[in-house]
A = this chain, B = another copy of it.
Amino acid sequence: MKIVLIGSGNVATQMGLSIRALGENIVQVYSQNIKNAIQLAGQVDAVPVTDYKKISREADLYIISIKDDAIAHAAEALKGVDGLVVHTAGTVDLTVLSAQVKNAGVFYPLQTFSKTRPVNFKTVPLCIEATDKTQLEVLKKMAQRLSQQVYELNGEKRKALHLAAVFACNFTNHLYALSNQILEKNHIDFEIIRPLIIETAEKIAHNLPENVQTGPAVRGDEETINTHLTALKRMPELYNIYQTLSNSIKKTYK
């Protein structure tokens, strides 16, 4: 199978490395940034390309892993190819591809990626979708070689999942950052709170989060809540978030 990787960001990098590790043949890596193209191409033994016109028309699989709003343009550049063209985005419709190419699909890994932190794809849920059953089977085979968790999800469900992921990952990380703002203001090292963060995440490995909620808001401990709000008077941003989330917890468990 000849594969073309379009993109060189966090997802493209981790996915490219994992696919290459399976022994697959990545023929080209496209990036509009020549440095990035060369760097990732070097890591996956592919040829770097910076011009859509230079992309091979003969590949079996094209993986588009670039910014959401650039996907349509990439699909347009692939118009007429016979290979399967997939994107890796959570919120982009399959039709953005299928409007341009015959065989289209989605290959969405539900994980947070950095270029430098290696990811074990075996544990990354892969959500797949395709224009027809034949293509779906092709995608499924590749997905199952990469990951132990493969889900067939339509676009609507995939979008809901992406939204849920914003709460569970992006917003959660922001809470860690806000927590660190409080610590820094009080000259306490972030190190002290890391075990709590890990345990909070691991606790829901065998529980649903709504069954293990703790803290002043779920206890209805107004005294502690008021002490905390008073302590946050000079951090209006955190005050507002403390109040919003505490009220939401109270409503949820009342």
Contacts and interface: CB of A to CB of B under 8 A. Distances in A.
A237 B201 CA distance: 23
B204 A173 contact: yes
Contact of A198 (B202, B216, B252): B202
Contact of A166 (B110, B210, B215, B251): B215
A231 B158 CA distance: 12
A183 to B, nearest CB: 5
A33 interface: no
A195 B150 CA distance: 13
A214 B172 CA distance: 10
Interface in A170-227: 170-180, 182-183, 185-188, 190, 192-205, 208-210, 212-218, 221, 223-224, 227
Give the secondary structure class of A's interface. helix
A220 to B, nearest CB: 11
A179 B200 contact: no
A54 interface: no
Nearest to A244: B244
A243 to B, nearest CB: 10
Given A170-B215, A173-B212, A157 B188 contact: yes
A248 B237 contact: yes
A-B CB proximity, top 3 nearest: A170-B215, A201-B201, A176-B209
